Structure 1
Amino acid sequence: MDTLTSTPAVFSQRARQLTSSAIREILKITERPEVISFAGGLPSPEGFPIAELQAAFDRVLATQGATALQYGRTEGYTPLREWVARDLSRDGTLIDPEEVLIVSGSQQALDMLGKLFIDPGSKVLVEAPSYLGALQSFSLFEPQFQSVPTDAGGLIPEALDDELCRDARFIYALPNFQNPTGLTLDRARRQALVERCAALGLPVIEDDPYGELRYGGEPQPSLLELGRAVGATVIRLGTFSKVLAPGMRLGYVVAPRDIIGKLVQIKQATDLHTATVTQMAVYETVRNGFLHQHLPKVRALYQRQCGYMLDALQRYFPADAQWTQPQGGMFIWVTLRDGIDTAELLQRAIARNVAFVPGAPFYAGVRAPTNTLRLSFVTVSEDRIRAGIQVLGELIGPAVGGR
């Protein structure tokens, strides 16, 4: 059989610098059914409201089919934008629908914000560690990453000194159940963060895909709410992926109108608009309060799953291992003793049909520790969680000096 040949394509310098996502590469392995995967940040299919979404699509197509299948506004379907504005105004922060842009998943919003703010060499502030998908998206625009230190309470606002923040384009933060650590910023740190950014004129990108998945602790005000009270520029990202289903690829950006206006221009050049039929079906699903009925079931499911993993870690991991205790979301962050390389540990774990994500890829602009890892618990059964954590505990070995 002849092989198709062609003159080698000449890629741009930007394209030549691209690398594959560490998580996506690991997920190729986890497609094997025998592999117990703690790697992917995938919502549990048990939480997908399949019947409700099917009914919503049916109603939309039956009653508004011509509109649903037509091109739409770049800004998004107006009733859905109005719903997002009302939903985010529940805390007393008045959001205008003109401050809302519907996007094809919040990952698209990250790409668009990179196009909006980053020139080659621009300084961008990120948490250490931070969401790998954001680092990968921003990297395409060749920024100079500067890491903001974190501790057991998350991002440290006091670290935002004049030298670190000078000429920075923005700071990117995940205040609720952060990916990868599962940590949440308390109110005092949130207040300090937005006040410092307001004083510096530094925009804040608040990425909050997990905020509605709280199953412990007290709800915290958004950076958007606190920021508007002190004059900070906060750009908030939200998504329907974690509260409905990720396959819909539907998210939103809330920002001042001048920023939304520029993002609309960028989106026009990107994909014209997000799928109209999807926007209309999601609006049909949520417009009468469905999420307030649906989310408690999802939270309860995730809380159980988290409990299974925390119990297994306590039982099977060595005494010198440390891990976070998330109050929501999908992730636990583990720190092992010095000298353990979790990239090497992953290879041994895969040989025994267990997968996780090593921690190093989540760091940018700072030397990454090699002894950390991220565990996701929401798509794995209780028995497989216990079996997989037991395997990892055996591979790590006992604590130095014994338990």
Structure 2
Amino acid sequence: MEEKLAKKMEEKLEAPTLNYEAYFSEKALGMKASEIRELLKLVESSDIISLAGGLPNPETFPYDVLEEILPRVIAEHGAQALQYGTTKGYTPLRLEIAELLRRRYGIPISKVDIMITSGSQQGLDLIGRVFINPGDIVVVEAPTYLAALQSFGYYDPKFVQIPLDDEGMRVDLLEEKLRALKAEGKKVKLVYTIPTFQNPGGVTMSKERRKRLLELASEYDFIIIEDGPYNELRYRGEEIPPIKRWDAEGRVLYLGTFSKILAPGLRVAWVAGEPHFIRKLEIAKQGIDLCTNVLGQVIAAEFLKGGHLERHIPRIRAFYKPKLETMLEALDKYMPEGVRWTKPEGGMFVWMTLPEGIDTKAMFEKAVSKGVAYVPGEAFFADRSVKNTLRLNFTYVEDEKIVEGIRRLAEVIKEEMKA
């Protein structure tokens, strides 16, 4: 028997190799791996200080509370928590999220307006699936969240980029673009924004611009996709409500998540919006995963119900605030003249701009050889036209490594500037 199996294996190895690519769909052939994920494979060595990732620090996870909640969830809700759930999501959790949005941000919303998703990433994919036809115009910030470009890009839109400044998206430039497109007989379908502590830019859209964006949405008839994963990670400055707070027409789909304020491994997030939109997203989700991880939903519901989130967020802020300050101080100390960076009031990232002519993607391997890693900025632009930027994360590594990582990066940049 073993000899026959061995012979078959030999025959298989000697047989002509399949043309595997020929079996993929056109969509699959066009898929590309996440550049960030691929780059992170190169920095797994413990000798490299990685300022590249976007991971919450495990020290912020509420282990003590979860140790208390988990046994109770199994004891009191086990039959439901371990079973299939509804596609729209665990009702007690949707009620708690609705109450959270009303209490924290003044958003008048009910459980009918909320659907639970398997991370915000699924929410983005569902929005692309439900709203985007090939050729539809989708406005994004420049730079913007790489995974949003990937999710929406699968549905073949035409991306239009609007630059950022220290107050977020240049809504004045968006208005000019909308006017020009209208003159050409074209219109925008969606505007995607991360208005608070933007990824990768770290900047926050002003209240005035948020309100103006809503006015433009009404005037030019488009939908706003508001991504809010970092809203609670404010370390200084005045809080600004989400755009959804002023949404009188139901034009804003708001994405929220527990990944940054509880634990990313739960994969529990939500989309809040007009019920007709939510219903169509629910139908789309039925064909993807049937329902979001129910156990994670019950845990999140109990976490909110017990008032733990209000007590936990100040701990997260207190943990991350000195890390951001450490990075900004190190940048001031070590970076050469001609290098600029954002000074966020919260979130997880600092965005850096180097002098023209420096390609941060080409520079990446040199940085790794010096023991430091970052994310090249090119991938965050829909047209990939900007080469001299990069993203830094300050939440994950120890404070002393932040300082050393910035020192090493500054040496690499100085060498590039000389060259």
Shorter-chain TM range is over 0.9
Alignment match of 2:317 (pick from 299, 312, 321): 299
Match of 2:213 among 163, 168, 193: 193
Is the Cα contact below 8 Å between 1:201 and 1:232 reproduced in 2? no
CA distance in 1 between counterparts of 2:416 and 2:290 reads 55
Instruction: Indicate the residue corresponding to 1:182 in structure 2.
Output: 202
Q: Distance in 1 between matches of 2:148 and 2:403?
A: 31
Task: Please state if 1:121 is matched with 2:135.
Answer: yes
Contact 2:115/2:282 (CA < 8 Å) preserved in 1?
Answer: yes
- For the 8 Å contact 2:336–2:414, the answer to whether it is kept is yes
* SS at 2:284 equivalent: helix
CA contact 1:198–1:227 (8 Å) conserved in 2: no
Query: 1:399: how far off?
Result: 10
1:92–1:389 CA distance, 2 compared to 1 (3 A): closer
Asked if residue 234 in structure 1 is aligned to residue 252 in structure 2, the reply is: yes
Aligned counterpart, 1:221:
241
1:329 to 323, 347, 355: 347
2:19 is aligned with 1:8: yes
Q: Which region of structure 1 is more displaced relative to structure 2, 160-169 or 116-125?
A: 160-169
2:161 corresponds to: 147
In structure 2, the residue matched to 1:346 is 364
In structure 1, the residue matched to 2:97 is 84
Structure 1 spans left out of the alignment, 5+ residues: none
> Which of 40, 43, 46 pairs up with 2:53?
40
Report what 1:394 is aligned to.
411
Q: Name the amino acid aligned to 1:198.
A: S
Q: Distance in 2 between matches of 1:345 and 1:167?
A: 39
- 1:264-283 paired onto structure 2 within 5 Å: 264-283=282-301
What is the root-mean-square deviation in Å for CA atoms of aligned residues? 1.7
The 3 A distance-change label for structure 1 pair 163 and 105 is: same
Structure 2: segments with no counterpart, 5+ residues: 1-8
Letter in 2 for 1:338: E
Pairwise CA distance, 1:123: 1.2
Describe the SS at the equivalent of 2:404.
helix
CA distance in 2, matches of 1:362, 1:347: 19
SS across alignment from 2:232: helix
- Which shows bigger deviation, 105-114 or 160-169? 160-169
Aligned to 1:206: 226
1:309-358 deviation line (CA, Å, top 9, x unaligned): 10111111102111000001000000111111111221101112211001
> How big is the shift at 1:369?
1.6
The structure whose Rg is larger is 2
Does the 8 A contact of 1:169 with 1:202 survive in 2?
Answer: yes
Q: Which residue of 2 aligns with 1:375?
A: 392
**Deviation, structure 1 residue 218:** 0.4
Residue 149 of structure 1 aligns to a residue whose secondary structure is: strand
Cα distance between partner residues in 2 of 1:158 and 1:89: 30
* Corresponding residue to 1:162 among 157, 168, 179: 179
Paired-residue identity, %: 44
CA contact (8 A) 1:195 1:232 kept: no
